[in-house]
Structure 1
Amino acid sequence: MNLRFLETFVWVARLKSFRLTAEKLFTTQASVSSRIAALEADLGVKLLLRDSRGVSLTPEGSKVLEYAERMLDTAKAMKQSLGGERAVVGRIRLGVMDTVIHTWMSALVAELTERYPQVEIELVADTSLNLRDQLQKGFLDVILQTDLLRQESIRSLDLARYPMGWIVATGSPHHRDYASLAELARERIITFSRNSRPHQEVFSLLQSAGSETPRLNCVNSVSAITRLLRDGFGIGALPPALVAAELARGELVLLTGLQPPPSLELVVSWQTGVELVDEVVGLCQQVLGRYAQDVGVQRIVLV
């Protein structure tokens, strides 16, 4: 029996909300619904009832909840007993670009904290350019950014691609059809910080479409980009994964019919010979894999 499905069921039963459970487990409501449906199919009974008042347990659900909580407690105790004598201590210095912060970073930190409770996590959020510089100077141990690094003491692994898109505020003057990228380029475009890889690729794409001087407004904060887009400031060139909630609520919309910007690459790079680094890289792959499974290929594509 899948423990992740049991954990999801327990949290839905406690919080009485699919939305709050999705936030708690760093996943989507669709993924929560899918896990509950799979668990119900496995057990052959209906566990939950959903109506206008919320979520409630069926009589069978109440019985299953008791066993599910015991099973999760047993699994947790087993893991703690196996790791108690060889608990890892120390510090890991982790650098991440803003795109990761706003997608699956919380799930990674939660997993790191649970697996290595005595390890201090030093988290740095910065641009890919600055993160690479800090890794090369030895100030960081692991970074999640956009480019493969080739250096004697550094290793890199290509992890995934974030599909990009053209995103605008629903009902704003920018929410209309565009005949070409050249016409789009006459509007105010909002994208990542200057000299970043996505900025350079968006600039090159619009230039190749016939715009000699595209108006690119460079912002190094995803939160600031999102706010500007919601206020109708311009057209965003960024991964839809970063504004999934705003798209779902209908506040923002993805323009269709135009060539999107090149996908945003996601690379993990790390200093060799540093304690715990290999384990952290492996954990990044595991957590990212679960995130990708939850959100689908429209939001991220694993390499």
Structure 2
Amino acid sequence: MEFKDLEIFQIVAEKGTITEAAKALSYVQSNITSRIQKLETELNTPLFNRNRRGMSLTPEGKKLLSYSKKILLLTDEMKKAVQNKEEPSGKLEIGTVETVIHLPKILSTFIKKYKNVDLSLYTGVTETLEDDVLNHKLDGAFVTASDFHSDLVSHEVFQEELVLISDRSLSTLEELKEQPILCFSKGCGYRARLKAWYKDQNIKPQKIMEFGTLETILRSVAMGLGITFVPRSAVIHMEESGVIRCHSLPDQYSKIKTVFIRRADTYLTSTIEKFIETIEMNK
């Protein structure tokens, strides 16, 4: 049995058809079919149920999928473990919430110093990024500090203040309470903090509108569509130019930490080690 056979098996299980798997791997379909048949012969059991709609895993196939994921994950860790400690290389997949103000400096410093690392960046909300790190989809992520899963460790990046922002026409908290809330999807740490403030004030938000990007939220606030809760560092330029107005909330809601999380049980590769060193240098 070859590792490549397991990789092909996983892609077929994910895509559900030989055709889609062949496209994903840039292989001819006959090659995919023969590799799956070879694997089934070696294991002496069918791994897929085949029908006109596609392919689904048999009970034995589901068992193999579970083991193959573990095997390939360990194989990847093995390769990373033996790489040059001073010259890290390979892929590094990092997640981040949208408002990490120090992120460009961290990434720029790291990429310029370690040119053999292929770094990819993905954005999302804290809850989703935490799940992606737990499920090995990301090597690590910049998120809002909270009570994380016990399988994660965190490294503090910086602390800052969240502020409520509105257009210039609103000046009191009482006025803000009547405004729609503009925010990211559920799982956002800032949204959770604002929700806690509303709850403690015994107020139910009039309306909640979800957006996909910070830029759209900030522009909408400036146009008077509603209010939002974001780090002051992300909007200080807008406040200074008179586009928006910032409103402070008590420390228990507004003081936050941004941290970098990673799995505690995975091998600390030189790539991740150097990335964490870069974070520490740029605090």
Q: Which runs of 5+ in 2 are unaligned?
A: 1-84
> What percent identity do the matched residue pairs reach?
16
Measure the CA separation in 2 of the matches of 1:157 and 1:88: 20
TM-score for the superposition, normalised by structure 1 = 0.58
Instruction: State the SS of the aligned residue for 1:98.
Output: coil
Q: Which has the larger radius of gyration?
A: 2
Distance 1:239 1:203, change over 3 A: same
Q: Tell me what 1:135 maps to.
A: 133
Q: Which residue of 2 is the match for residue 278 of structure 1?
A: 273
1:52-201 correspondence runs (5 A): 87-100=87-100, 103-146=101-144, 147-152=146-151, 154-170=152-168, 172=169, 175-178=170-173, 180=174, 184-201=176-193
Match of 2:246 among 232, 238, 254: 254
| Structure 1 residue identity aligned to 2:123 | A
Q: Quick one: structure 1 residues 138 and 184, their matched pair in 2 at CA, closer, same or farther if it must change by over 3 Å? A: same
Quickly say closer, same or farther: Cα 1:255–1:149, change in 2 above 3 A.
closer
Match in the other structure for 1:227: 219
2-structure distance, mates of 1:241, 1:218: 22
Written as runs of structure 1 = structure 2, the 5 A alignment for 1:16-31 is none
Q: Does 1:206 align with 2:225?
A: no
Rounded to whole Å, the distance in 2 between the matches of 1:177 and 1:127 is 29
After superposition, the C-alpha distances for 1:134-176 in whole angstroms (9 at most, x for unaligned) are 1111111111112353434x32223333311121222x3xx23
How many correspondences in the alignment?
195
- Cα RMSD for the two superposed structures: 2.5
| Deviations 1:244-279, CA, capped at 9 Å, x for gaps | 2212222112135x5474333312111331422122
Q: Given the two structures, how large is their TM-score scaled by the length of structure 2? A: 0.61
Runs of 4+ off more than 4 Å: none
Partner of 1:297: none
Match of 1:268 among 251, 260, 270: 260
Give, in angstroms, the shift of residue 240 of structure 1: 1.6
**1:67-97 deviation digits (Å, cap 9, x = unpaired):** xxxxxxxxxxxxxxxxxx9533222111111
Cα separation, 1, equivalents of 2:106 and 2:224: 33
